[in-house]
Amino acid sequence: MKKLNVMLGAVLVAAGLTSCKTDTEMAAENKIDRYESFYDSVNNLEDEEKMANWNAIKAEHKNRLSEADAAIETMKEEEQEDAQERINDTKQKYEEMEMTVSENVNNAAANTLYVSYFGEGNGIGNDMKFEWVNKDNILSVYERFVATFDANKDNYSRQDFDKIKAWYEALDTRKNTVEKEGLTSEDNGEIAKLKLGFAPKFKWERMTAKGDENEAAKEAANE
């Protein structure tokens, strides 16, 4: 009986402490709970869903984190340290997740860009060997490459231009090998014409894109 009375007394004390919290303090705890719950809900999503909604997730994370940070200021001093640790722990886990998702997004974008230039089933975005290119198809590969660039050059970012440049140089390296495997002089001549028209055009578009992005960055910094 004495043990039961002690337990009941402890419950009453805990209830009394809870009831002493103001609405503001309870609201502050709820905001920190919301921040942790937000991370958990996003972390439980499939990778594809995270990638598809990442911009919205980043915006919502910013809001939830701001709420949680502001909530600490309304808490009792003895509770602030624990609350800050909870926020920091969740923020660290979110940043680790962000790195993974960003890498997945970049890889998916690179693969999509790669497919637009070389088609499905012909390697992936970081393929620099082009072993599937041979004397019989290399002219059509160059033709598709140049046509794809002409059709989409106004939509590329600086990073896209860097990837395209790397692929183009790797394709040229592959051409050196294919020439030794029986590339016809007719096809070689047609490829030379394509390259002659492509090189200055690509250089200009890439330089313009870099200039536009630098200008946009300056304007954003001055806002």
| Residue 203 main-chain phi, psi, to 5 deg | -60, -45
Residue 183 in contact with residue 134, Cβ under 8 Å? no
Return the pLDDT at 78.
Answer: 86
Per-residue model confidence (pLDDT) at position 112:
92
pLDDT at site 84: 94
Report CA dihedral (148, 152, 154, 159) to the nearest 10 degrees.
-80
Q: In the prediction, which pLDDT does 4 show?
A: 34
Please indicate whether residue 135 or residue 213 has the higher confidence score (pLDDT). 135
CA 138 to chain centroid, in Å, comes to 33
146 confidence band (pLDDT: 50, 70, 90): very high
**Token output for 215:** 């200008």
Instruction: Tell me what the pLDDT averaged over the chain comes to.
Output: 86
pLDDT tens profile 90-143: 999 999 999 999 999 988 988 999 999 999 888 876 778 999 999 999 999 999
Tokens representing residue 219 in the block: 């304007």
SS3 35: helix
State mean pLDDT over 203-210. Answer: 88
| pLDDT single digits (tens) 173-194 | 999 999 999 999 999 999 999 9
Q: What is the pLDDT of residue 102?
A: 93
Report the distance separating Cα 9 and Cα 17, nearest Å.
12
Kindly list the distances between the CA atom of residue 95 and the CA atoms of 89, 92, 102, in Å, as whole numbers in the listed order.
10, 5, 10
pLDDT at 70 over 70: yes
Measure the CA dihedral 43/45/51/56, to 10°. -80
d(CA 107, CA 62): 24
Among 72, 195, 223, smallest CA distance to 138 is for: 195
| Tokens standing for residue 181 | 């495997």
Question: DSSP 3-state assignment of 127?
Answer: coil
In this structure, the number of other CB atoms found within 10 A of the CB of residue 80 comes to 15
- What is the rounded CA–CA span in Å between residue 144 and residue 116? 9
Four-CA torsion 42, 47, 53, 55, nearest 10 degrees: 80
Q: Provide the whole-model pTM.
A: 0.69
Residue 41: is its pLDDT beyond 90?
Answer: yes
Q: Is the dihedral of CA 124, 127, 131, 135 positive or negative?
A: positive
